[in-house]
Structure 1
């Protein structure tokens, strides 16, 4: 059974066309961390340390109590397709671009930053957008 992946390589996910904010913001802290808050924490605390698959699985594990180092659980999780970071609230709602480096590791880039403008204009990267919140 082939494993699915959410990883991109040398790709920049720009914020969604209907993202409601002009400046990137940290998702609010809640008693039970939201997917947005977990994605933010995992990526922002260690930029370029994790791949998209790492972030998606660790978010699942933290929300469900699965041990992070459970290789069988990870394999079972990725035996079905999983939504990639294009569907993350970070790019849809909170104004963060997501840069995947040449090894597929991810970092957050605030939409109002010079780095965002440079990455958005970089012809060496593949470009895609975060998914829209609403249909056009």
Structure 2
């Protein structure tokens, strides 16, 4: 696998990002345009309302599946980083860290993790600043 770094750590799911999302967007736009044209030409029709509703309902499950997966993954990352900090520092992780900060800290190697956690707490680093501060990148190839 390609070595991960700040510049290339973003992950895309080709089927979702380049097929499902664009096609869903196009389908929704086309359906709304069709419904507006039909409404202008023939007036209100329950079929038009149902058509738009069905298209919207067809898109929602894909969005929810992604949201649920990311939410669960974020909770797992938080637990992993709390355990990792305890194993390396011998004490619990400070509650002042936000979820986003902990998720960014997961990329830090063990050698710099505790120091970067302390610096993050002291300076209230943003997730972006945390990632830019990492010297030895710990890859996460399993991100959803």
TM-score (structure 1 length as normaliser)? 0.25
User: Which is strand-richer, 1 or 2?
Assistant: 1
- Of structures 1 and 2, the one scoring higher in RCO (CA 8 A, sep 6+) is 1
Please identify the structure whose Cα radius of gyration is greater: 2
User: Which is helix-richer, 1 or 2?
Assistant: 2
